[in-house]
Structure 1
């Protein structure tokens, strides 16, 4: 694989990791069309997918297997064997439905299992581009190709980063869970005691019961003494 191609794939996977919580090992859900395309292009899925995107798990559903078996084409016999060799993910459909409808049901409500959808079905990929957060993988010639994020996915992440989107409760819970996985539990800051001058003691501000002595005005020292009248000397004396 060329270095430029490796950087492109790593950039796309990092985008989905940071914005939607994708992580290794990645979950690749595969349908019959992708297996048939790999068989025709001589691409060994189990060997080349880990080299292309890194550590991953290849899974399929009972509906995908039932659909390719129902076609009954001898040309799809090899693709059927490849699909059956993968791990089976329970889709909880009591009655089998089409592979595209089954995969759509797995990725609804925010793609909770973080699936990378691997399919050659163009109509399926077109429908999934209208759902944000769905990585798409297909064969271009004989080379696996991971699509860049759709326009809807990029616009949603921009709105989330700008705080301009009204998220549903389910989407809000998913984002909160992703934040916990990425950054851990939010620690509330401990409120420190305020240091510095405190206010006056209320007890010290209480009025004293004893009244202060009133200041007396200065008095004349001789005011208390009576003036003595001088006796006049008479002539007889």
Structure 2
């Protein structure tokens, strides 16, 4: 019948118009997955202003909340770096005697494999420093990590073990050690040894 055919044609036209005008939502998963429908539900992201930054802070022992590390005591354990040995020889200072005079106590000096390797790399110009580092009075500390960067090695050791005093004349190393609570720093000032963070030491600067 002609009336039925007209109704069918009108329905087809209306269906085409409705398909053309239908819009895809901006949150549709097909837009984000390149046309593929994702099975996972989309999670709404929170605003940056409402999110709180969570920082992981390493726990600090109770011994670090005083004027200096209360775990330190004679005989002191001193970690020596490359430039401390070289500048001590330049200023004609005996490392072992000078440190004991500064701290007014018995001390044990330690040298790591990294520091010794660094002295060997410096060449014949610093052969006196290498000879001084191989003195039997220095106790060797083996390094199990990769690489021979002495600064990182010293920082890692004093972070893990709070029983050491760091002997260094390098400003960069001293600044890094200052960020670690409770670790004293030994260095050369006015051709003599001076120590930070140990106010009771004989060689500590007078305030």
Measured against the shorter chain, the TM-score band is: 0.5 to 0.7
Give the unaligned 5+ runs of structure 1: 1-13, 150-237
Mapping of residues 21-170 of structure 1, within 5 Å: 21-53=71-103, 54-72=105-123, 74-85=124-135, 86-93=138-145, 95-109=146-160, 111-112=161-162, 114-148=163-197
Give 4+ residue runs of structure 1 displaced > 6 Å after superposition: none
Residues in 2 aligned to 1:27 and 1:76: alpha-carbon distance in whole angstroms: 25
Partner Cα separation in structure 2 for residue 80 and residue 87 of structure 1: 14
Helix, strand or coil at the partner of 1:64: helix
Q: CA deviation at 1:46?
A: 1.7
Deviations 1:124-148 (A, max 9, x none): 1001101101100000131100013
| TM-score, scaled relative to structure 1 | 0.52
Structure 2 CA distance for aligned equivalents of residues 107 and 42 of structure 1: 28
The number of residues matched between the two structures is 131
Secondary structure (helix, strand or coil) at the match of 1:137 reads strand
Contact 1:66 1:96 in 2 (8 A): no
- Choose between structure 1 and 2 for higher RCO, CA contacts under 8 A separated by at least 6 residues: 2
Taking structure 2 as the reference length, what is the TM-score of the superposition? 0.59
RMSD between aligned alpha carbons? Answer: 2.0
Deviation (angstroms), 1:89: 1.4
Q: Give, in whole Å, the separation in 2 of the partners of 1:15 and 1:49.
A: 21
CA contact (8 A) 2:79 2:110 kept: yes
Give the conservation status (yes or no) of the 8 Å contact 2:67–2:197.
no
Residues in 2 aligned to 1:76 and 1:83: alpha-carbon distance in whole angstroms: 11
Q: Do the aligned partners of 2:182 and 2:197 also contact (CA within 8 Å) in 1?
A: no
DSSP 3-state at the match of 2:143: coil
> What is the SS of the residue equivalent to 1:43?
coil
Distance 2:109 2:89 in 1: 16
